[in-house]
């Protein structure tokens, strides 16, 4: 008889846990997510870095220090197995004052304590050879070559696709409303879509992990949101080749300047602590964006004019009581495992967190894990015809003419890419069609025009494939339906 496991939250942590647990024959794994698609919570908006593990003090934050470097190493395997967009470009922590080198030396010592190889100080000449566009006030830097970047939502999507292919059952648009506990043991999860029986409940609910924990009678920590704001520039704007940090202060790591995985210059984030009740506040602010702009200029003085900005956005990080990750089986409720407070470096740590949870299940809960004889670690990325050679495109179009119809001019996304994305959406259980679900799989609507050209065509394809009127297609889930009036405008624009 299989042990039933319910994972609450399909962000990077929950998805990674689902993938690792899908390796075991004697587990029946359910992945529960209140959003219409995976990765739409904390995982959606961040700096998308695979951190180097030099920042977390192992005495103060032992879980973060341990799991960051483990996660970094695991990502080298996962991006290959799952064909996740990535780059290992390294990071420079830039010194602009002589006293900054004292802090950089402390980071080197901490990195060595955490087991990080190949960190070193570079002098001014080497620094400007690496990044000629840096501020002329730079006098040296700490070079951390193991830092990388990935696409965070493409990563979640890839992991969930692989987990589902290995037997995980998804429950999207499913909000947890209670945890059933009898005689000190977990029995299952109450949701808006009914009761899901479970022997083990894993709380990976991001910003809401404290509220889910309280449903099980566990109330020793609180999560408050920390907002970070960003600028994203047109992809024609040159940015640095490496990830650039200022030398950190006791208060902040500072504003990052980087070229994100799709080729866009990105700056941010700042850090603003919000009260616990403001877990949906994703609004950008004039003051916050000005702080980001001025902070970025200290590293990268020749920022483009603001009319080259194609988007500003904000993300929220779940800051826990005490600051460290909370990953443990709760003694007072057998079968309840908290995976809470997964703030930075949570994206980096996610694969290691997943293996940590598997160990907790086996060692702390005493559930022997039996590996499958035919577990498949591989997943193929969506076609992305624009990344193919002309000969490959011609061959593809012969087999499927839809790949010859470009519907996103900015990112060269074809109708075939969108139709393939829709099939993948259905495969993992996406029931509510949304433009954002296509966006995160194809990059359509993320270019210079931000969807002005391609959005109507995506709506038409979603309506056809889901067999619904166009005005019932949503932008990002329930409450964001296109609307009849909008459809009329879109259609007129399309015909024009």
Catalytic positions: 51
Please, are residues 213 and 340 in contact by the beta-carbon 8 Å criterion?
yes
**457 contacts: CB under 8 Å, gap ≥ 6:** 407, 415, 418, 494
Q: Which helix (H) or strand (E) holds 124?
A: helix 124-130
Q: What is the dihedral of CA 440, 441, 443, 446, to 10 degrees?
A: -20
The end-to-end CA distance of the chain, in Å, is: 61
Helix (H, G, I), strand (E, B) or coil at 384: coil
Instruction: Residue 189: name the closest of 204, 200, 178 by CA.
Output: 178
Helix (H, G, I), strand (E, B) or coil at 282: coil
Q: Residue 484 and residue 472: Cα distance in Å, rounded?
A: 8
- Alpha helices by DSSP H, listed for 258-299, are 286-297
**DSSP class of residue 22?**
T
Please, are residues 49 and 187 in contact by the beta-carbon 8 Å criterion?
no
Q: Count of residues for the chain? A: 496
**148 contacts: CB under 8 Å, gap ≥ 6:** 49, 50, 72, 75, 86, 87, 88, 89, 90
Looking at the DSSP bridge assignments, the partners of residue 196 are: 189
Please, are residues 415 and 403 in contact by the beta-carbon 8 Å criterion?
yes
Task: Write phi, then psi, for 18 (nearest 5 degrees).
Answer: -60, -45
Please, are residues 246 and 255 in contact by the beta-carbon 8 Å criterion?
yes
**DSSP class of residue 2?**
P
Instruction: Residue 287: name the closest of 306, 271, 264 by CA.
Output: 271
Q: Which helix (H) or strand (E) holds 453?
A: none
Q: Residue 85 and residue 103: Cα distance in Å, rounded?
A: 33
Distances (CA, A) of 275 to 278, 285, 287, 292, 323: 6, 16, 18, 21, 15
Strands 223-233 and 272-273 come out as antiparallel
Look-up: residue for tokens 């692989």? 162
Helix (H, G, I), strand (E, B) or coil at 165: helix
Please, are residues 200 and 3 in contact by the beta-carbon 8 Å criterion?
yes
């Amino acid at each position: 008889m299989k042990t039933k496991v319910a994972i609450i939250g399909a962000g990077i942590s929950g998805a990674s846990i689902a993938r690792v647990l899908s390796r075991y024959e004697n587990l029946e794994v359910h992945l529960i997510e209140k959003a219409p698609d995976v990765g739409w919570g904390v995982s959606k908006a961040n700096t998308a870095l695979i951190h180097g593990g030099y920042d977390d003090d192992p005495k103060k934050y032992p879980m973060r220090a341990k799991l960051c470097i483990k996660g970094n190493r695991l990502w080298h395997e996962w991006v290959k197995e799952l064909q996740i967009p990535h780059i290992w470009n390294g990071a420079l922590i830039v010194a602009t004052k002589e006293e900054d080198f004292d802090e950089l030396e402390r980071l080197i010592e901490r990195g060595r304590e955490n087991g990080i190889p190949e960190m070193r100080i570079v002098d001014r000449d080497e620094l400007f050879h690496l990044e000629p566009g840096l501020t002329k006030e730079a006098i040296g830097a700490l070079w951390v070559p193991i830092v990388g970047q990935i696409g965070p939502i493409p990563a979640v999507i890839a992991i969930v696709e692989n987990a589902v292919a290995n037997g995980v059952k998804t429950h999207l648009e499913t909000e947890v409303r209670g945890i059933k506990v009898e005689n000190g043991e977990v029995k299952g999860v109450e949701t808006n879509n009914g009761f899901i029986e479970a022997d083990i409940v894993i709380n990976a609910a991001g910003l809401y992990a404290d509220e889910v924990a309280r449903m099980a009678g566990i109330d020793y920590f609180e999560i408050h949101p920390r907002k970070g704001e960003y600028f994203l520039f047109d992809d024609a704007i040159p940015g640095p080749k490496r990830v650039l940090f200022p030398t950190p202060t006791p208060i902040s790591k500072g504003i990052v300047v980087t070229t994100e995985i799709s080729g866009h210059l990105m700056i941010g984030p700042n850090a603003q602590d919000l009260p616990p009740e403001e877990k949906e506040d994703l609004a950008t602010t004039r003051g916050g964006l000005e702080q980001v702009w001025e902070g970025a200029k200290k590293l990268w003085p020749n920022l483009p004019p603001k009319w080259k900005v194609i988007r500003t956005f904000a993300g929220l990080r779940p800051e826990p009581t005490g600051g460290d990750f909370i990953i443990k089986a709760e003694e007072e409720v057998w079968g309840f495992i908290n995976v809470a407070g997964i703030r930075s470096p949570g994206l980096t740590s996610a694969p290691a967190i997943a293996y940590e949870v598997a160990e907790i299940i086996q060692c702390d809960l005493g559930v022997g894990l039996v590996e499958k004889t035919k577990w498949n670690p591989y997943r193929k990325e969506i076609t992305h015809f624009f990344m193919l050679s002309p000969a490959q495109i011609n061959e593809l179009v012969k087999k499927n003419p839809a790949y010859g119809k470009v519907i996103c001019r900015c990112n060269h996304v074809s109708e075939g890419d969108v139709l393939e994305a829709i099939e993948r959406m259905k495969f993992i259980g996406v029931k509510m069609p949304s433009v954002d679900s296509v966006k995160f799989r194809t990059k359509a609507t993320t270019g210079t025009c931000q969807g002005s050209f391609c959005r109507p065509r995506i709506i038409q394809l979603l309506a056809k494939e889901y067999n619904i009127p166009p005005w019932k297609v949503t932008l990002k889930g329930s409450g964001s339906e296109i609307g009849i009036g909008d459809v009329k405008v879109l259609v007129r624009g399309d015909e024009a």
